[in-house]
Chain A
Amino acid sequence: MLSALAGAAQRQEVCALVDASDSFDPASAATAGVNLERLLWVRCGQPATVKRTAGEMKSRPTGFAFSGVLEQVLKVTDLLLQSGGFGMVVLDLGGVPVKSAHRVPLTSWFRFRRAVEPTATVLLLIEQEPCAKTCASLVLRLQSETIFVSNSDAFDRSQYDLRFLSHNVGYRNFAMNIPNNCAVGHASLLRGMGFRAEMVRSWTQRKPPQSAGTHFEMRTAP
């Protein structure tokens, strides 16, 4: 997600992030190269409070029949897509339980698809399991595979795929160049994570694509 936002920042596009679980870390984004001044961050999850009557504060969604976070997310996304002009709108449902995410009606995804089809806006949905179904033009599955650490204390290497830098000559040079004042992670020990990305479905090509997969790594920021 941050890479996509950083790419949009390089293209000088204005982006919006609808954060369903309020878990976005601005420091991580800044490290990844996201231009925070061009990113509209919408923090969902907390209903708006409206002063309705004298002497009491009623906490309720303002004027509309919103009952949960997902309703907020859908409404905000609708507004952003209708407003137009955004290069990328990201819906981060990564922190939303799968059961809740599946409750979003398919008509909403169809509406969003219709809204972005004639525009240059990219609607990016981050979720634990695909719930947009056939409305998605491209579905990618990302899975963590490897964690790179620099010591082996109290860790069963036989069970999990962790690479220890002290045993790997290739990474040792890399570790020496990392300063200790890392912005995001504690770089002296945690080096990064390895992921596998697989294209599940794509409508962006005329023929259905062959199964394609790749590996990439994320490292603590230098």
Chain B
Amino acid sequence: MFACIYIPDFPVEAIVRAEPLLREHAVAVLEGKLPLVRVIALNERARQLGMEIGMTKLQAAVFSRNPSPTRDSIGLAVLRQRSCEQELSAHAALLDVAHAFTPRVEDTAPDTLLLDLVGLDRLYGAPAKMASDLASRVIAVGIEANIALAANPDAALNAARGFSGTTIIPAGSEAQRLGVLPLQVLLDAFEIASQKKVGGEAPRRQEEKLRAQMLDTLERWGVHDFRTLALLPEHALASRLGERGAKLRRLARGEGMRTLVLCAPSVQFEEAMELESPVETIESLSFVFVLNRLLEQLCARLEARALATHELCLRLQLERRVADEEADTVDDLKTLDSHNVAYPSIFKRTLRLPVSMRDSKVFLKLLQLELAAHPPGAPVIKLWIAAEPAPPRTAQRGLFLPVTPEPERLEITLARISSIVGERRAGIARLLDSHRRESFCVDRFALTASGISHIASPTLSEGNNHIPLALRILRPAQPLQVCLLAGRPDTLVLEKQTERTKIQGKVLWSAGPWRSSGDWWTEKMKQDVAMGPWDREEWDIALALTSIDQENKGDVGVALYRIYRDVATGNWFADAIYD
């Protein structure tokens, strides 16, 4: 048993897939350069309006501008430019569906796929069940297609091209069922069935000419459908039309068997859309709708292949700005670049997810937050979204383990927090292997299995009353003015007293200095204070705490601080408070 998936009016269907609201409208697809823009594809509603393939843009525009008094807005034709990206996306989605159904798939044409269903009846059931299952999967990716099942691939191909909806032809009744189809369908399918790869413009015209001649000949003979052609004697037909005639007769009778040319499943998941007009504000509803639609299509494709993604890549093609056009020379462009005025034509953002996900709403929110944090800076005219496929999450939590944040919600929460406090200011602190103070970096927060390991810690609950001493770091270090007595800090005062830190007074106790230095060999990083060389003398000091109550001023206790002297500059700084 073989199945054929055929998408009638493929260019229209590719556009309607991206804009589902157009399904209720008459849609015509235009192609070409002015003034030779012509209609290349129509849907059924457009045909009912009287539109035809080959119309010029002006002729087609009549149907979109001047509605008749009896015609409502739905009756107006919608004209769209052909989009190769959307056609490629629709074709890729169709391939995903087919490969999810069976591994034996022939990529016959952009709008046609042939599937080998031999042996799948035990998995999917009877042919009728298989056909309905296949149809529902195709609809799930936003495409309406004709589906036909037959005993041989060519019969399935002709049935899918000739009959709309789902068709099942039992073995042995191919000639009877296909007999009513017009001869035009056979000639269209014949080129695909014979696997002719016509390259170049001249051979294609020659092929079309031959086909027109054959159709004319057959019509002059009174052959208008499959049944009439199937009744013609084979030898007589071959002697007049050659090998091509004999093949046509076999196809019309639904006979013959050929081997499918199988294709490998694609690992590239990308959706694209070209916008009708440039979108300036990414917060606009139209842009959000487009983004949402593309993400839904992408997730549907991933779901069809039982996959998820751990990386999303968004590319935006930006409209050239006036600032770029005003830059006459290369130097001007460099100057503009330094001020972030000149934008690249492609704006790219990548979302790396800690776990694989497949929720379009989560992706939409994450992309919105990402674009809000990093606006493209110029109107968007085209966008692509690509997903890196990954196996879906299969981890199962234990019943008695504590609840952890849901990964999808956690990602959105982290993105929102980053938009509030800034990038790289929320995450996991990772200590670095260095003697430098403050030697840590902030990594992305992700719940991994390694973080669940049990760590023994000294806590009061264990009966250990000696809790490790902790530091409260002053970031950045506060400059101090220190008076020394016999080489030890005697009194100190903050150079800039703030409401937050009030460090001043006589030093009650001091211990030190502890000298440390390092990274003096890193010449390149000397400009970077945080990562450059350091050389410091550290002191632990005790200061008397004064009451915050203005009426009862006086010492209320002792506070311990860690201060240091930068040996290179001789300046003193307050580094931390012992807490």
Contacts and interface: CB of A to CB of B under 8 A. Distances in A.
Interface of A: 2-3, 6-7, 9-14, 21-44, 46-57, 61-64, 66, 72, 75-76, 79-80, 82-87, 94-100, 120, 143-145, 147, 149, 151, 153-156, 159-160, 162, 184-186, 189-190, 192-193, 216-221
A28 B402 contact: no
B442 to A, nearest CB: 7
7 contacts: A7-B457, A23-B474, A30-B431, A31-B470, A52-B375, A79-B417, A120-B403
A181 to B, nearest CB: 10
B457 A41 contact: no
B239 interface: no
A93 B454 CA distance: 29
A62 to B, nearest CB: 4
B469 interface: yes
A36 B429 contact: yes
Contacts of B406: 83-85
Interface stretch (B11-19, B61-69, B444-452): B444-452
Nearest to A48: B422
A25 B470 contact: yes
A85 B455 CA distance: 20
B338 to A, nearest CB: 9
B451 A35 contact: yes
Nearest to A21: B500
A14 B410 CA distance: 11
Nearest to B425: A43
Interface in B467-486: 467-475
A177 B419 CA distance: 48
Given A10-B457, A46-B421, A216-B467, 18 more contacts: A2-B468, A7-B457, A9-B457, A14-B447, A23-B577, A44-B425, A53-B377, A63-B372, A82-B413, A83-B410, A85-B405, A94-B472, A94-B579, A144-B558, A185-B578, A186-B540, A190-B511, A193-B578
Given A32-B470, A86-B405, A155-B508, A46 B447 contact: no
Contacts, number: 272
Query: Can you list the 10 inter-chain pairs with the closest CB atoms, starting with the nearest?
Result: A33-B457, A85-B405, A37-B451, A26-B429, A189-B511, A6-B457, A155-B509, A28-B470, A83-B413, A48-B422
Given A83-B410, A84-B409, A37 B472 contact: no
A27 B418 CA distance: 23
Nearest to A76: B417
Contacts of A34: 457
B514 interface: yes
Contacts of A46: 421-422, 425
Given A44-B421, A48-B419, A186-B540, A22 B475 contact: yes
B74 interface: no
Contacts of A120: 402-403
